[in-house]
Structure 1
Amino acid sequence: MKEIGLYVHIPFCIKKCKYCDFISYRQNNSMIDSYVTALTKELSMHKNTLRDYKIKTVFIGGGTPSILDINKLDIIINQIHKNFDINSRAEVTIECNPGTLTKEKLKFYKNIGINRLSIGLQSFNNEILKFIGRIHSKEDFIDNYNKARNAGFENINIDLIYGLPNQDMKDWEGTLKEVIKLKPEHVSAYSLKIEEGTVLYRLLDEKKLNLPSDEEDRDMYHFAIDLLNENRIRQYEISNFSKNGYECMHNLIYWNNEEYLGVGVSAHSYLNQKRFSNTNDINEYINFINRGELPIQMEEYKNKEDEITETIFLTLRLNKGLDLMKFHDRFQVSILDIYGDKIRKLIDLGLLTIKGNHIRLTSYGMDVSNQVFVEFL
C-alpha cells in the first residue's frame, strides 16, 4: 500500500501569542464540542479517500492541541483508527504548550499511542516569554518536560525562536545551553518572522520593538547550528536538528514533497497531484460538515512541471539536499537537463554544491535560501 501522512488541526488556544498569525481561537468549551464533532465527521468522510493508503505519520497540531481534555482527544484518536489503516510503527506527534500539560494528560497520551511530543518553549527567559504572550514560564516547561520523561516519552522536540524582542546573543546562548542539558531528541529553532496582523507587527509599526539586527539574527542561527551539532543534535533541515534517527518523519513528508491529508479548519492537503485546503472560518467549517460536505475552499492541480519545481525547493531545505537518482526515478528526467544553467550559476555564486549524488545548499545558501528557491520558480 502507498504511505501517507495525516495532519489534524486543533485551532484553540488559551490566548494568542503576539507573534502568531495561525488560524486559532480562544478557548471556548461549546465551540470545542461542536468542532470536535465536526472533525470526527470529516475524518469519516475521508475514509474512502485513504482506502488504498497506510498512514505512516499522524501530527496533531494547532493552535494548542494539548488544550483538549482527555475525552475529546480520545474521540479523535479513536476515529482515526476506526477509519484508516495506521502503520503499527507510525510516528504520532502532538504539539503541546507547557502551560496546558498535566501528569494525567501525558500518561493518557502515552497510553493511546502518541509517541512523540513537540513542546513549545521558545525561550528560557521569563521576561521575554511574558512579553511575547506565552502562558508559561521556564519553570513550567522544565516541570512538564520532566513529567513527560517520567511518563515514558523517548522522543521529544523542543520548539525555540530566536531574533525575539529584547533578545541578545548571551540570552540565546543561555537558552540553548539549558535546552541541551535536557537532552531532547529534536530541536526546532526558527527565526522570528513578524507577520502582518499580529500584535508584534503593530508594535513594530509604532516603533515599540527592540529587535536584534539582521546580522545578530544570522549570528544566532549559526551559533545554534554549531552548538547543537557539537552536542550531537545535528542539523538536518534549515531550522531543524535531531539526534541520529529522530528526524521528524511527518515533516520529512512535506520536505520530500510526498502526499499528506489535512483535516480541520484551514488544514492543507496534497493528494493525487492536487493541493487543496479547508476553509479558514471555523463556523463555515462546522456548517459545511453538518451539511455533509467537505469544507474545501481551494483546489489546485499540479502538473509535472509544478511537481518538479516544488520538489526542488522543498528537498533543498534538507541538509542532504536533492538526490539526483531519486529525482530521475520520480520524474524520468535529469534535473541537470532542465536547470543545468541555473544550477551552475548558483554553484558559481557559492549557493549550491554538488557532492556525490546530491545537490545541496551551502552554508551561505541556507542563509539566503529564498533567493535560491526563486531561481527555480
Structure 2
Amino acid sequence: MESHRYVVAMKALRGLYIHIPFCPQICPYCAFASLRGVDYLHERYVSALCKELSVWSRQYRKNPLQTIFIGGGTPTQIDPSLIGKVLEAADYAFGMCTDAEITVEANPSTVDREKFSKLRSVGCNRLSLGVQSFDNQALKKLGRVHSSEEAERAFTSAREAGFSNVSVDLIFSVPDVAEPVWQGSVNKAISLQPEHISVYALTIEEGTLFARREGEGSLVTLTEDDDAMQYEWTRNRLLDSGFKQYEVSNFAQEGWVSRHNWGYWTGAEYLGVGLSAHSHIGGERFWNVKDIEAYMQRVEENISPEEGRERIDVQTERRERFWLGLRTSQGVFLSEKELAVLKEHEHMNQCLKAEYLTLKKDRVLLAEKGWNIADGLAVKLTNILEDGSEVITQCV
C-alpha cells in the first residue's frame, strides 16, 4: 500500500482491535459502522482484513500482542472459521502472548453452544455478551432482536462451551422502562455470576433512529436526575455483590478486568483494522473509511484504507489523559507542577471537601461521590491547569 502513510513511531504494539461490521439488525441507538443483509460480503471482507494486517506487519517488529478485541457490528454474525482466519493473520503478523486476552462480542440471537465451541477452538477466550436487558419489553424498545430467554440461554451455552471469562453488557436510562424493570435486569445478570458486567447509559447519537425520534418529539429521554439515580443504584448493587469497579461503566470480579479496555483508558497504543476502525499509535490518531466497498477495494488495490489522521498535541494529550484516566479506579498521575497548581486552587479544594475527588501522593482520583460526574470533573481539572484564573462558580 505505497500511498499509505504507514510509517509511525515503532513502539511495542499492545492491543489490536478488529472490526466486523455485519449485524442481524441495526439497533436504533447504534452509531457504529454496521451493515445488515450483506452476508455475501463476509469472505471478501475478511480477506481484506487479513491483507491489511499483513501490511501492518511490515511496520512492526515482532512483539506479541497482549490483547485482541473483535467488535462490531456483530462478530458472531459471521462463521467462526472466518474469525479464526483473521486471528491466524494477526498471529502471523505480530505474534501473540501465550496468555493473550482475545475477546469477541456476541449477540444472543446469533449464537448457540456449537458456535461458542468453534469460537473457543479458533482462539477466543473472552466473551462480551450484548444482553442490554433481561426484560423483553425493554429489549423491544431498544430494537434488539433477541429475547430475555435467548440471552440467558446464550450465557448458559457459553459456559457449557468452556468460556470462563464472560462479560455481560447492560443499558440503563431507557425511556419508558420502569426502575424495577432495570433493577431486575441487574439482579438477573448478577445471578448468572459473570466475571464482568458493563453498564452504559443510553446515549442519543447523531444520525441514529433514536436521534431522529428525539428531534421529532416522539422519544423523550430520562432527566439527568433520573439517570443519576439509576446509575447510583446500579453501582451500589454491583459493589455490594462483590464486583470491583475499575472504570465508570465497568465492574469485574477480582482478577477479571478487561485488559484490552484497560489499555484504552490508560493511554496504551493500539491498532484498529477494518471498516471505520480507529488507531492510536506514535502520538497520532487515525481511522479507516466507513464505506465497506471503498474499504475492500482500497485494500485489494494496495491503496491505504485510511480516511483521516491527526497529531495529538500537548494540550490534547493532557486533556485525554484526564478525561480517560479520571474515569478509572487508578486515577490520573500528576506531574509536580500539576499537583502544585491543583493543591493551591480553591475549586479543587471544594471538590476534595465535597468528596468528589481525592489526592493520593502523585494522583488525583474519584472519591465516592464523583463516579457519576467523572466527565464533568475532568473538564474542571483541565480548565484549572490550563487557566488557573478561570472563574468556576462551583466544583460541578
TM-score range, shorter chain: over 0.9
Shifted more, 311-320 versus 144-153: the winner is 311-320
Query: Paired residue for 2:357, among 343, 349, 352?
Result: 352
Three-state SS of the structure 1 residue aligned to 2:162 is coil
Which residue of structure 1 aligns with residue 78 of structure 2?
68
Q: Is the 8 A contact 2:101 2:125 kept in 1?
A: yes
Three-state SS of the structure 2 residue aligned to 1:53 is coil
Shifted more, 347-356 versus 156-165: the winner is 347-356
1:183 aligns with 2:203: no
Shifted more, 333-342 versus 7-16: the winner is 333-342
What is the rounded CA distance, in whole Å, between the counterparts of 2:217 and 2:16 in structure 1? 41
Which residue of structure 2 aligns with residue 220 of structure 1?
230
Which residue of structure 1 aligns with residue 177 of structure 2?
167
Q: Is the 8 A contact 1:169 1:216 kept in 2?
A: no
Three-state SS of the structure 1 residue aligned to 2:57 is coil
Which residue of structure 1 aligns with residue 4 of structure 2?
none
Query: Paired residue for 1:335, among 338, 341, 356?
Result: 338
Q: Report the AA paired with residue 338 of structure 2.
A: I
In the TM superposition, what is the alpha-carbon distance from 1:20 to its structure 2 partner?
0.8
Which residue of structure 1 aligns with residue 374 of structure 2?
369
Deviations 1:321-372 (A, max 9, x none): 1234xxx5xxxx6532565556x52341344221344311234433222222
What is the rounded CA distance, in whole Å, between the counterparts of 2:26 and 2:259 in structure 1? 28
**What aligned pairs does 1:220-369 form with structure 2 within 5 A after superposition?**
220-324=230-334, 328=335, 334-337=337-340, 345-349=347-351, 350=354, 351-369=356-374
Deviations 1:166-219 (A, max 9, x none): 212111111111111100100000011011221222222232235433222111
Three-state SS of the structure 2 residue aligned to 1:26 is coil
What is the rounded CA distance, in whole Å, between the counterparts of 1:43 and 1:113 in structure 2? 17
Three-state SS of the structure 2 residue aligned to 1:289 is helix
In the TM superposition, what is the alpha-carbon distance from 1:304 to its structure 2 partner?
4.0
Gaps of 5+ in 1: none
Shifted more, 59-68 versus 109-118: the winner is 109-118
In the TM superposition, what is the alpha-carbon distance from 1:119 to its structure 2 partner?
0.3
Q: Is the 8 A contact 1:347 1:353 kept in 2?
A: no
**Seq. identity, %:** 36
TM-score normalised per structure 2:
0.88
In the TM superposition, what is the alpha-carbon distance from 1:140 to its structure 2 partner?
0.4
Gaps of 5+ in 2: 1-10, 384-396
In the TM superposition, what is the alpha-carbon distance from 1:244 to its structure 2 partner?
0.9
1:126 aligns with 2:136: yes
What is the rounded CA distance, in whole Å, between the counterparts of 1:307 and 1:52 in structure 2? 27
Q: Report the AA paired with residue 368 of structure 1.
A: I
C-alpha change, 1:215 and 1:304, in structure 2 (3 Å) is closer
Across the aligned residues of Structure 1 and Structure 2, the Cα RMSD in angstroms comes to 1.9
What is the rounded CA distance, in whole Å, between the counterparts of 1:52 and 1:113 in structure 2? 19
Which residue of structure 2 aligns with residue 15 of structure 1?
25
Deviations 1:108-149 (A, max 9, x none): 111222110000111111012122210100100111110100
What is the rounded CA distance, in whole Å, between the counterparts of 2:163 and 2:325 in structure 1? 29
Three-state SS of the structure 1 residue aligned to 2:251 is strand
Three-state SS of the structure 2 residue aligned to 1:46 is helix
Q: Report the AA paired with residue 224 of structure 1.
A: T
What is the rounded CA distance, in whole Å, between the counterparts of 2:87 and 2:338 in structure 1? 41
TM-score normalised per structure 1:
0.93
Aligned length: 369
Superposed structure 1 runs of 4+ greater than 4 Å apart: 337-342
C-alpha change, 1:128 and 1:69, in structure 2 (3 Å) is same
**What aligned pairs does 1:87-102 form with structure 2 within 5 A after superposition?**
87-102=97-112
Q: Is the 8 A contact 2:342 2:348 kept in 1?
A: no
What is the rounded CA distance, in whole Å, between the counterparts of 2:220 and 2:316 in structure 1? 40
In the TM superposition, what is the alpha-carbon distance from 1:306 to its structure 2 partner?
3.3
Q: Is the 8 A contact 2:74 2:105 kept in 1?
A: yes
Which residue of structure 1 aligns with residue 39 of structure 2?
29
Three-state SS of the structure 1 residue aligned to 2:16 is strand
What is the rounded CA distance, in whole Å, between the counterparts of 2:230 and 2:349 in structure 1? 26
Q: Report the AA paired with residue 170 of structure 1.
A: P
Which residue of structure 2 aligns with residue 59 of structure 1?
69
Deviations 1:244-263 (A, max 9, x none): 11111001111101100000
